[in-house]
């Protein structure tokens, strides 16, 4: 089957670093994406890992280990506006197409 597991919620303080893990069971995911969704808003793309290793985009980094079926999103220098739900999503196809989303991790950033 194809499913992704994430912690349901994480709490951190402003300025801290937080890591959101994602493990998946799949018969063939090609890459892992991360999306952010604020309450009442649309999901917005954060990053995509096609290969093993770390991808860095500003304060956000994402890591993938395909052999371990594991990835994570690292958020540095947390800000209050980072409070949102974060979803990992796997692409079953090798040329994009549909995404299979995890259930999401609700991040609360406290002052």
Partner 1 sequence: DTGVSQDPRHKITKRGQNVTFRCDPISEHNRLYWYRQTLGQGPEFLTYFQNEAQLEKSRLLSDRFSAERPKGSFSTLEIQRTEQGDSAMYLCASSDDWDRGVGAEQYFGPGTRLTVT
The residues binding partner 1 (CB under 8 A) are 31, 33, 41-45, 48, 50, 87, 89, 91, 95-104
- Decide whether 32 or 75 has the Cβ nearer to partner 1: 32
**Shortest approach of partner 1 to residue 15 CB, angstroms?**
28
Quick one: 45 or 65, whose CB is closer to partner 1? 45
Q: How many angstroms separate the CA atoms of 67 and 81, rounded? A: 34
How many Å apart are CA 56 and CA 69, to the nearest integer?
20
Are 6 and 106 spatial neighbours (Cβ–Cβ below 8 Å)? no
CA distance 110 to 29: 35
**How far apart are CB 42 and partner 1 at their closest, in Å?**
4
């Amino acid at each position: 089957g194809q499913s992704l597991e994430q912690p349901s919620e994480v709490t951190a303080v402003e300025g801290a670093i937080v890591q959101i893990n994602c493990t998946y069971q799949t018969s063939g995911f090609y890459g892992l994406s991360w999306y952010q969704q604020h309450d009442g808003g649309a999901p917005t793309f954060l990053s995509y890992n096609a290969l093993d290793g770390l991808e860095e985009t500003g304060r956000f980094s994402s890591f993938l280990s395909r052999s371990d079926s594991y990835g994570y999103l690292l958020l540095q220098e947390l800000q209050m506006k980072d409070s949102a739900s974060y979803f990992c999503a796997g692409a079953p196809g090798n040329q994009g197409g549909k995404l299979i989303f995890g259930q999401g991790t609700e991040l609360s950033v406290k002052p």
